[in-house]
Structure 1
Amino acid sequence: MSRFLQLHLLTFFPPSNLNRDDLGRPKTAMVGGANRLRLSSQALKRAWRTSEAFEATLEHHLGKRTQRMGQDILDHLIAAGQDTKKATKIAREVASIFGKLKKEETSTAIEQLAFISPREKAAALELADRMAGGEKIDPKKEAASVLLRADTAADIALFGRMLADNPSFNREAAAQVAHAITTHKVSIEDDYYTAVDDLKTSSEDAGAGFLGEAGFGSGVFYLYLCINRDLLKTNLGEEDDGTLAAATLGALTRAAATVAPSGKQNSFAAHARAHYILAEKGNQQPRTLAGAFAQPVTGTDIVGASIAQLKTFRDQLNKAYGPGSDAQAELVLGGDGTLEEIVTFAQKA
């Protein structure tokens, strides 16, 4: 089986603000002496793992990143008829397995966000039921019966997790996701907008009820992903079948090609599809093709020029270092290849 699956995508987004910085403007990066728009890997991964593409394929195999596991435990115990005070005490003790509790004695929340799989949630509820039933249990000593090093949570297997209070149950991410950057130079523009009070009469002043300003930009983004298929199977606890790993790779490929971050979508509706996808499999050391855009793409056909520049750079790398993969598949919008073919390619060993 090929150890690595690498995905390279070029996607055009119209004017939008999909991923904002601390000032509410589109995130950027200086690359090759030119300002580029940027989509952070964190924003991309959240959009993918909460997408319909993941839900449809990986139902019952998705974890939740939350501070509120304790509240779920509390609600579960109260619904079962447990006294609120005792239920709160139990919920806090069990929740402490996932992280440090907030200081308020009535709070069941933890300080950090914990990525929790469905099996771990079920185990936590079962432990709470045992404690509510009168068993003398030290939750800290039961951590190994709740936390898992491998299970069927596909998103945790892909993107990993860190548990500060129980690092032995951390999971190394099987997928590496780069920040997406535009292949060309960009300038962020400002949208000056107003809102009018619908109940204002013509006899009143003509001024707006609200004034605002929002930044936006547009461009062709290059996105690179590398997935360690062996680590993915290990994280999922799959030794032989590989069915869930294949479904996970398919869902990730489909989401990367079709799902955008949700930032300001109600204002810009920037729902795009990849113009170009290159999928590669092999045991060779992975390599990004971002170097193709160290020199910004220019001209009016930035999509076509971006595809050509990426292919040229890939050929140059292959000539200098040898083939970067054993097998490849391509989708060119308006040309060869389909998303289903790319997904099938990604899923096969």
Structure 2
Amino acid sequence: MIIELHLLQSFPVSNLNRDDVGQPKTATFGGQLRGRISSQSLKRSARLLFQRHGLEAGETGVRTKRLVASTAALLEERGRTHTEAVGVAQSALVALGLGLDKRRPALTEYLLFVGNDAVSLLADYCERDWSPLAADAAARARAAEKKKADSSKDDLTEDKKSKVKPDKATLEEAARILDASRVVDVALFGRMIADNKDFNVNAASQVAHAISTHAVVNEYDYYTAVDDLQPSDESGADMIGTVDFNAACYYRYANLHLDQLSHNLRGDTDLMARATRAWLDAFIDAVPSGKQNSMAALTPPETLLVVVRDSGAWNLANAFLKPVSDSDLMVASSRALLGHFNRIRRFYGDDGIRAVVAASVTAELDGLAEGELAPSRHELVSRVLAATKA
């Protein structure tokens, strides 16, 4: 079973998701430049809301390269010295088959998506195997000193030595520390661990890049700032700069494969139900944080369409292949979205669709049956969740 979420959300002056030169991200679609918000930005914004929408801290995860520092800090609280704790934490990760950053060994080689209890579990492992891990840490420290003294040493050879193949018992320990069967955001968005594919998790949710329903042109704000303590006989600004922005109505799409979510959460029906509600509510509320302190573009979605289906998936972005040009962008975009959905439904049929629920703050939702319209966000969410239990 699949839940599809289609949202229309208009943001005023904003720079929610910047590119490498600080401008709002864009994409060319239908031959026209559109505003864009990356799926990664939207997923992070939703993840940060999961606890607000009913999940416990222990049921959510963290994406980090800083397991060494966090684990070492916990070991220090347990009475270990800082140097010992850092070295043993590094050796523990290497023993578990996880590489360290070559240039900054205080970091892992790549971001790890783990449960919030991974740090305490890793610290417990360090304590249980302290002696061999401490010996390895000392050997690694000596090797590092030797490498500094021998500038001709082959970096590639050193890389190969920095990774080990764990034995069966150590792999079982790694599986316990990296277990994500109760970590909802890992279950939803998946995980790839290059060093051991056994710890990979297939994502239950797919999230599209949001694109504007109309053509956009990025603009910039020229600003000045005056020193409050500037003498009265002086004039002029003490800071001058520019900030890029645009204003756009975005189409957002995400889906949730409930069978995959159930598999990832090992069939825990209670956790799955709460995860499904948290996913739906969090994606409705998700707003990227870019430049919000200076622009406060905190507008909610105004048109919401949710489809519950047994199989298949329809991203409705092609409703906006021809850019909307009406002066009332939200109303025109809503009309285009619903019209496109109804045309596809007529053409392909709706035998696999269990429920359609739509709601809008401002637009008339033409073409939908009366029973498919919800008067509020609360009613929409309730109907969708009820449909998943049918």
TM value normalised by structure 1: 0.91
| Farther-moved stretch of structure 1 (55-64 vs 141-150) | 141-150
Q: CA deviation at 1:104?
A: 6.0
Q: CA deviation at 1:78?
A: 1.7
Rg larger in structure? 2
Identical positions, percent: 36
Matched, 1:49 2:47: yes
| Cα displacement string for residues 270-327 of structure 1 (whole angstroms, at most 9, x for unaligned residues) | 1111111111111131111111000111111111111111111111111211126221
1:24 maps to which of 14, 22, 25: 22
| Cα displacement string for residues 57-76 of structure 1 (whole angstroms, at most 9, x for unaligned residues) | 11221111011111122112
Structure 1: distance between partners of 2:254 and 2:97: 29
- Partner SS for 1:19: coil
Amino acid at match of 1:195: A
Q: CA deviation at 1:119?
A: 4.4
Question: Which residue of structure 2 lines up, in the alignment, with residue 234 of structure 1?
Answer: 263
Question: Which residue of structure 1 lines up, in the alignment, with residue 187 of structure 2?
Answer: 157
1:327 maps to which of 355, 373, 377: 355
Given that residues 7 and 304 in structure 2 are in contact (C-alpha distance below 8 angstroms), is that contact kept between their aligned partners in structure 1? yes
TM value normalised by structure 2: 0.82
| Cα displacement string for residues 166-212 of structure 1 (whole angstroms, at most 9, x for unaligned residues) | 222111111000000111111211100011111111222x2211111
| Farther-moved stretch of structure 1 (85-94 vs 185-194) | 85-94
Given that residues 191 and 216 in structure 1 are in contact (C-alpha distance below 8 angstroms), is that contact kept between their aligned partners in structure 2? yes
Q: CA deviation at 1:146?
A: 3.0
Given that residues 15 and 217 in structure 1 are in contact (C-alpha distance below 8 angstroms), is that contact kept between their aligned partners in structure 2? yes
Question: Which residue of structure 1 lines up, in the alignment, with residue 173 of structure 2?
Answer: 145
Aligned residues: 342
- Partner SS for 2:308: strand
Structure 1: distance between partners of 2:82 and 2:119: 20
Higher helix share: 2
Given that residues 277 and 330 in structure 1 are in contact (C-alpha distance below 8 angstroms), is that contact kept between their aligned partners in structure 2? yes
- Partner SS for 2:80: coil
Taking the TM superposition and a 5 Å limit, the aligned residue runs for 1:181-260 are 181-204=211-234, 206-237=235-266, 239=267, 241-260=268-287
Q: Tell me which stretches of 4 or more aligned residues in structure 1 moved more than 4 Å.
A: 133-139
- Partner SS for 2:182: coil
Taking the TM superposition and a 5 Å limit, the aligned residue runs for 1:1-349 are 3-51=1-49, 53-59=50-56, 60-96=58-94, 97=96, 99-103=98-102, 107-132=105-130, 140-141=166-167, 142-147=170-175, 148=178, 150-204=180-234, 206-237=235-266, 239=267, 241-323=268-350, 325-334=353-362, 336-347=374-385, 348-349=388-389
Structure 2: distance between partners of 1:149 and 1:161: 11
RMSD of aligned residue pairs (Cα, Å): 2.2
Given that residues 95 and 108 in structure 1 are in contact (C-alpha distance below 8 angstroms), is that contact kept between their aligned partners in structure 2? no
- Partner SS for 1:58: coil
- Partner SS for 1:250: helix
| Farther-moved stretch of structure 1 (192-201 vs 318-327) | 318-327
Structure 1: distance between partners of 2:383 and 2:123: 39
Given that residues 150 and 234 in structure 1 are in contact (C-alpha distance below 8 angstroms), is that contact kept between their aligned partners in structure 2? no
Is the alpha carbon distance of 1:186 and 1:103 closer, same or farther for their aligned partners in structure 2, counting shifts above 3 Å? Answer: closer
Given that residues 89 and 123 in structure 2 are in contact (C-alpha distance below 8 angstroms), is that contact kept between their aligned partners in structure 1? no
Given that residues 90 and 131 in structure 1 are in contact (C-alpha distance below 8 angstroms), is that contact kept between their aligned partners in structure 2? no
